[in-house]
Structure 1
Amino acid sequence: MTASHQGTCLCGSIEVSFNGEPKRNFICYCSDCRKGSGHLGQFISEYNSSDVIVTDKDSKLKEYVVTKTKSGFPKKKQFCGECGSTVLTLPMKHNGEVAMVRPSLLDTKFASFAPNKAIFGDARTEYTKGSESEFY
């Protein structure tokens, strides 16, 4: 049986569903994720784009294309134009076939998406240098 997870952006204008389980769950500490989230990094789950459904009844979904990336390929950041919540990112390195979704949008079952990997950890280390905290 395929699991289905639903969530919304902060204002509720955009609904997102992820079908099945993600390929991987991770935290990304790259500068794009740091700036886009307003935090140290972002919690991301990787899915096939065909397993992600975005419902935008009021046409609030906006897109920003990040062109300066470490991979050299642009990535499309999709977000709510009303509340600013990032909904997903489409890395064009994968021709739009991979969707990086934000499980933080889920209202339930959030804990089942616990990250098991961190990427761009060097940026996190720079930020937390000298801290006694146990960051991932």
Structure 2
Amino acid sequence: VPVKSVAALAMQACHRIRRGYVRRRTATGNQIRGLLLEQGIALAQGEAALSQGVPRVLEDASQPLPDLLRELIDEMLSEWKRLGERIAALTERLEACADADQAAKRLMTVRGIGPITATALLAKQTEPERF
């Protein structure tokens, strides 16, 4: 088994961390939706529904939500937003890495392969010159 370079291991770690953030953010968003649905409040799918809809629900005094649940959902929404910021920051780093790497640039000429996929492939591949 060929040994990966330090740079490839770091890139692979970046992808793993980003993937973990994405999973946690998705789980947090789904949990928020589920808690609201238990109270009879349905939100549409998508980021906009959470980022815009949840604050409206929490601020609407006519919504039958206990104060404790309002506070907890507000905290969860803050965590959801923080995770989104972390995902965006790692995405920017990966895009910068892809822009600086010739093999990644070659990969991105293939239809459907962007910077995230290109850097993931390079992190897995021990012989990037093959690209």
- TM-based fold match above 0.5: no
TM-score, normalising length: structure 1: 0.20
Higher helix share: 2
TM-score, normalising length: structure 2: 0.20
Higher strand share: 1
Larger Cα-atom Rg: 2
Of structures 1 and 2, the one with the larger relative CO (CA 8 A, separation 6+) is 2
